[in-house]
Amino acid sequence: MKYDRINSSLYISNRKKFSEKMLVGTLAVFNSNDIYPISADSTMPFQQHRDILYLSGVDQEESILLIFPNASNPAHREILFLKETSDLIAIWEGEKLTKEIAFLTSGIKTVYWLPQFPAIFKQLMSEAQGIYLNTNEHLRANTEVETREDRFISKVRQDYPAHIVHKAAPIMHKIRSVKDAIELELMQRACKITEASILRLLKFIKPGVWEYEIEAELAHEFLRNRSKGFAYTPIIASGKNACVLHYTENNQLCKDGEVILLDVGAEYANYSSDLTRCIPVNGRFTARQKAVYNAVLHVKTEAEKLLIPGTIMAEYHKQVGNLMEEQLVNLGLISMDDIKNQKADWPAYKKYFMHGTSHFIGLDTHDVGLWHEPISEGMVFTCEPGIYIPEEGLGIRLEDDLVVQKSGAPFNLMKDIPLQADHIEELMNAN
C-alpha cells in the first residue's frame, strides 16, 4: 500500500458499532474480493471489498473476518483468517501480512491462516443460532459476476440450512454512512490531492491540448502524493462531450472557445474524493458560458444549505429541482408554459438537468447509506447540480464533497479548490 498505516482504533471502533447491532447468538462473516482476470494470465489490480476493509483495515486478498460477540471462547469473538506468506510468495509477490502486522493493522488479537477456517467456522456455527451474510444491496448495484462473497453465501445456505440468516447490509449501510474523525481526515487528504491536481491543470490547459493529456497530468499529481490514482473513471469532457453524463473516452482535442467539464477525484487509503469543475480552454468564459456557470453555482450554493440533520433526501432533491427550474427559465431554456404542461414524473427542468444532486461518498465513490432515513451529523455527500445544453455544445456541472454538521451549513472538504468563474479565469491568466 502507498498510504500511511491507519490507527487501528478506527477498525476497533467500527467493529464495536457493528457488534452492538447484532442479535444475541449470531456471528458475521466478511470476505475479501477476488482478484479478477482479464485474459491469459493477466489480472486486474486488486481492490479490497470495502466492508472487510472498514471493519479490519486488511487490504489483502483471500482474507476473512469473523465476528461472534457471544462466542464461548473470548479468543473467538473476533478472528482474522489470512493467506500465509512463504518464501516463494515473498519472491514473486512480496510478503503477505504476518500475524503481528495484522494485529497492528486491525487490533484483532486472534489471527489464523486460511486452511484453519473450515474447522473453526464449523465449530462456531454449532454455537450460533444465526449468521449475518454480506450481500451487495447498493441501490445502483448491477453485478453479473459471482463474487467470493456470493460463493461463500451459497455454501453456507447449503451446509447450514437450519441456521437463521440475517442481512449484514442494513447495519453496514447505517454505520458506514456516518464517518469517524479518522475517516474524515483520510477523505480530506484525498480532497487535498485533488486540489493540487486542479491547480496544476489551471496552468496547463490551453487550446490544442488533448483530453488524455489532461488525464495524464491528473494521474501524475495523484501518484506523486501517495494516491493509487483515480477514485473512479475520470471524465474529461470538452465542448459537446460534457453533455454526455458518463463520458470517459477522453480522446478529443480541446478547442478554443470550449469549456472542459472535469469530473475527477483522487483516492487516498481507499477513500474517495469526487470533484467537478468546468474550465474554459482559452482561459476566458464567454458571457453565455459564464451565465450558465453562475446559474449552476447558484443552485449548488443554495442546495448545500439544505444538507442539514433531519433532511429527507427525496424532499431535498425536489427542492433542488425547484431551484434549477428558476435558473433554467432565467436562461431562456424552459418557459412557464413548459412548467405548466410538465409531466409529474418528468419535470420540465429534467430536459437540461437529468440526474440527482447528491450521493453518499466514502470508501466507495457512490457510498452506501440509508436513503429513506433523515441525514445526520457526520454523513458526507456530494453536491453536484448541472446544466447540459447539447444544442450549444455546453455542459456545466459543479461538485464538492460536504460533511454534514450538527447545525448550520455543511463543511466543504474542497473549500480551497477554485470555484468562482472569475477566480478560475484569474488563475489561468496569471503570469
Residues 146 and 152: their CA atoms lie apart, in Å, by 10
Per-residue pLDDT, averaged over 86-96, amounts to 81
Task: Compute CA distances 42 → 36, 45, 47, 93, 304, whole Å.
Answer: 9, 10, 15, 14, 44
Residues 34 and 44: their CA atoms lie apart, in Å, by 10
Residues 22 and 43: their CA atoms lie apart, in Å, by 36
What rounded mean pLDDT belongs to the chain? 96
User: pLDDT (tens digit, 9 = 90+) per residue, 352-409?
Assistant: 999 999 999 999 999 999 999 999 999 999 999 999 999 999 999 999 999 999 999 9
User: pLDDT (tens digit, 9 = 90+) per residue, 132-167?
Assistant: 999 999 988 888 899 999 999 999 999 999 999 999
| Residue 245: pLDDT over 80 | yes
Enumerate domains of the chain plus CATH numbers: 9-176 (3.40.350.10), 181-429 (3.90.230.10)
Cα-based angle 342, 346, 348 (whole degrees, multiple of 5)? 45
Phi, psi angle pair for 275, to nearest 5°:
-125, 145
Q: Are 324 and 349 in contact (CB under 8 A)?
A: yes
Per-residue pLDDT, averaged over 115-141, amounts to 96
Among residues of the chain, what percentage have pLDDT more than 70? 100
What is the model's pLDDT at position 92? 83
Per-residue pLDDT, averaged over 190-206, amounts to 98
Q: Are 273 and 191 in contact (CB under 8 A)?
A: yes
Q: What is the H or E stretch that residue 279 is in?
A: strand 275-280
Helix (H, G, I), strand (E, B) or coil at 387: strand
| Residue 90: pLDDT over 80 | no
